[in-house]
Structure 1
Amino acid sequence: APDPSSAEICSIGGNLACNAGGPRAVKYGTSRDNVLGLVAVTGAGELIQCGGAYTKDATGYDLTHLLVGSEGTLALIVEATLRLTPLPVSQAGLRVLYRDADAAAAAVSRLMSQPVVPTRLEFMDARSLELLRRNGAEVPEAGAMLLVEADGDHDTLPYLLQALATAAEGDGMIALDVAMEGAAREKLWAARKALSPALRSIAPGKINEDVVVPVSRIPDLVSGVQALAREYTLTIVTFGHAGNGNLHVNILYHPDDADENARAHAALPKIFALTLALGGTLSGEHGIGLAKRDFMAQAFSPATLAAMRAIKLALDPDGILNPGKVLPPA
């Protein structure tokens, strides 16, 4: 099931409204993929029901998946029917170190093009590894790292791990450790979850985006972000859910430095332009809100935005639900 970093503090309704995901989404899907039905209140005050406790439905429009991820702009979710997934019998992982980010990104493409779907596949660049070590994780120095995890039963798990290890091998791989278990494994994953808040130890200002590209284009995204960091003389830390093509690109800067502040905000549109040029999208789980609203016109055609506005008008005719978010003014 989804395991977003906000799991311990978010509400279920808020989680669904943002369609949060987390590392396990690569195998088990995001929140949207685990919702069977909803009861919600529209902006007109009407109670609507969609979906239910069944897994197959070709009846009418799919309002369930429309409302999930709508960021509270279409309706307020008051009840949800969720898919429950049995806990895996056994799980184990790989920690794979690479010479540089390009080599790790290429390995992601190999891992996701073979039949065994990992439970988690996380990418971390060199700056991320520095933060992991600062948070107490025992991580050797390297240009990049992948954390790969598989689950299954006791008999099949070794074969799944071997398939993933074979795909992870390639040019630029430095080391591969198998079956991180117990306290060391949990400590490493805990440090990974703490990466985002730890970024402020590098610089007080952070622009955190969660762009998505096709998995085959991850090498191009990583190299493109590195080029932008050099062009704008900025520290950009990249990590995230590489199995979905969803990377967190963090531009770090000092807000009281006017020149650096300007460079940071000038680099942001370039990251979105790069993402869209690679066939990607603006957000994988953080959503659009107000911060990315004005970039929507670059991601969608006028006709598509008009269709979204028509849906908004139908469900929230007075515009009282989270006004001004997601959709740019017409």
Structure 2
Amino acid sequence: MDGLLEQLRAGLPAESLITDSDVTASYAHDMASFCEAGTPAVVVLPRTVEQVQHVMRTATALRVPVVPQGARTGLSGAANASDGCIVLSLVKMDRILEISPVDRIAVVEPGVVNAVLSRAVNEHGLYYPPDPSSWEMCTIGGNIGTASGGLCCVKYGVTAEYVLGLEVVLADGRLLTTGRRTAKGVAGYDLTRLFVGSEGSLGIVVKAVLALKPRPPQQLVLAAEFPSAASACDAICRIMERGHTPSLLELMDRTTVRAVNKMAGMGLPDTTEALLLAAFDTPDPSADLAAVAELCTAAGATDVVPAEDAAESEMLLQARRMSLTALETVKSATMIDDVCVPRSKLGAMLEGTAAVAEKYDLTIGVCVHAGDGNTHPVVCFDHTDADESRRARESFDEIMALGLELGGTITGEHGVGLLKKEWLARELGEVSVELHRGIKQAFDPLGLLNPGKVF
């Protein structure tokens, strides 16, 4: 420990090193349940690329593992410390280095908060679409590490589609530049995409070139109540089949609606079994909402209410954004699943999840990025009750198995981390896992970067 601190201090300012055990303990884990976390030897908060390089050179020389972190809002244990590791928190590298309206790019450091970037580019008439529910807290580096999505993915896509280029500090301290600043470019293997979603296991992202879009018109939102999740999923299929491209299409089940009402008193309809939110940011959103309203009514909606203005629309979106937080108040702990299935299988996924909840006698609320089939079943349980905790974990696994059976994937945007390592191997298969390990070996031959995560 003394040798590690001595070498780190040789290239770092004193204020960037945290050794107080009470403070370092707060950096030991992200927001996932059922994921073990070790005790870090030290937490480092660098402000420059050179400082990150020094950390990695020191770690390599002393064979000390390094766990990269953003805001620790992740839900898979990917940012959890291992015993004796260096926690490398990048939240102090939070500068927006450039916004170019001509090239439609932003160049940022990894600690920039998603919402801060979004507001900054808005001032230039531009738009950065990826918007996870935690956008007021989560960082761009964390978004890149987990290949995160958000509410607007149905129209605008996920983080991977907006990362044009990266600067990455490798395990041995070398600085790698990948990708480009141009709108097009196919030179060499796409190493940029390789790092997106790698959860800090291949290198430390220290700079990102992000694609931007022109800022769209203000979106309007429609809320539709349904007597069953099946009828709401039927409406979703009708909307997509007819060629509509909403900027947002979100589903909240009865449990989620009631949790939001209880926490925030938003006046959402407690009587509904499923609440569908659809939004359009087209030049004439009212016409698009009217067309979707007809499809919802045909699918069995009991009430369809279009927002009259931006304020009403924002209120509805705020209800959706707080869904996960509201479900956390139902019991003392939650496990948030992240299973993505084909849109045509959404009804079966929700029906199967309800059956799992009944089987294990648990409360499981479901909120869904319905436009892209990404479901978030949230298992609510009492973590002080050993039997209930066991049932929660078993129900979580059963939901993931259901997703694979329906032709889906175990994670649409939250990543693998510690929580889903076993399930990743099941989804990928032996040949793919072997190739993944080969790639890890090429970038990190000593296995120092985020060890034990992903696979």
Return the letter of the residue paired with 1:139.
L
Cα distance, 1:235 vs. partner?
0.7
2:173 paired residue number: 45
Unmatched 5+ stretches in structure 1: none
Q: Does 1:136 align with 2:265?
A: yes
Q: Is the 8 A contact 2:220 2:313 kept in 1?
A: no
| Distance in 2, Cα, partners of 1:238 & 1:224 | 12
2:317 aligned with 1:185, yes or no? no
Letter in 2 for 1:83: A
- Counterpart pick for 1:119 among 224, 230, 247: 247
CA distance change for structure 1 residues 323 and 109 in 2, over 3 Å: closer, same or farther?
same
Secondary structure of 2:241's counterpart equals coil
Offset of 1:54 from its aligned partner?
Answer: 2.0
1:158/1:204 Cα in 2 relative to 1: closer, same or farther (>3 Å)?
Answer: same
Question: Which position in structure 2 is the counterpart of 1:244?
Answer: 372
Shift of 1:259: 2.4
Aligned amino acid, residue 258 of structure 1: A
Taking the TM superposition and a 5 Å limit, the aligned residue runs for 1:34-183 are: 34-134=162-262, 135-140=264-269, 141-153=271-283, 156-183=284-311
How many equivalent residue pairs? 325
Deviations 1:180-238 (A, max 9, x none): 42433322222221121222321112111111001111011000001111111111100
SS of 1:324 mapped into structure 2: coil
Structure 2: segments with no counterpart, 5+ residues: 1-128
Q: Secondary structure at the match of 1:70?
A: coil
Deviations 1:78-99 (CA, angstroms, capped at 9, x unpaired): 1111111111123212101000
Deviation, 1:176, is: 0.7
Shift of 1:292: 0.9
Shift of 1:7: 1.7
Aligned residue in 1 for 2:395 = 267
Moved more, 224-233 or 190-199: 190-199
Structure with bigger gyration radius: 2
Partner residue in 1 for 2:342: 214
Q: Amino acid of the residue matched to residue 272 of structure 2?
A: A
Percent identity between matched residues is 39
Deviation at 1:317, TM superposition (A): 1.1
Query: Conserved in 1, the CA contact under 8 Å of 2:256 and 2:326?
Result: no
Asked whether the 8 Å contact 1:44–1:315 carries over to 2, the reply is no
TM-score of the aligned structures, taking structure 1 as reference length = 0.94
Cα deviation code 1:54-83 (max 9, x no counterpart)? 232332211111111111111111111111
Q: Kindly tell me: are residues 200 and 179 of structure 1, through their superposed partners in 2, closer, same or farther at Cα, counting changes over 3 Å?
A: closer
The CA distance in 2 between the partners of 1:104 and 1:61, in whole Å, is: 42
8 Å Cα contact 1:74-1:315 kept in structure 2: yes
Paired with 1:13 and 1:259, the residues of 2 have a C-alpha distance of 37
Please give the alpha-carbon distance, in whole angstroms, between the structure 2 residues aligned to 1:233 and 1:180. Answer: 41
Matched, 1:204 2:325: no
Structure-1 separation of matches of 2:226 and 2:435: 45
Specify the code of the residue in structure 1 equivalent to 2:176. I
Deviation at residue 117 of structure 1 after TM alignment: 0.8
Give the TM-score normalised by the residue count of structure 2: 0.69
Counterparts of 1:62 and 1:3 in 2: how far apart (Å)?
Answer: 24
Distance 2:288 2:295 in 1: 11
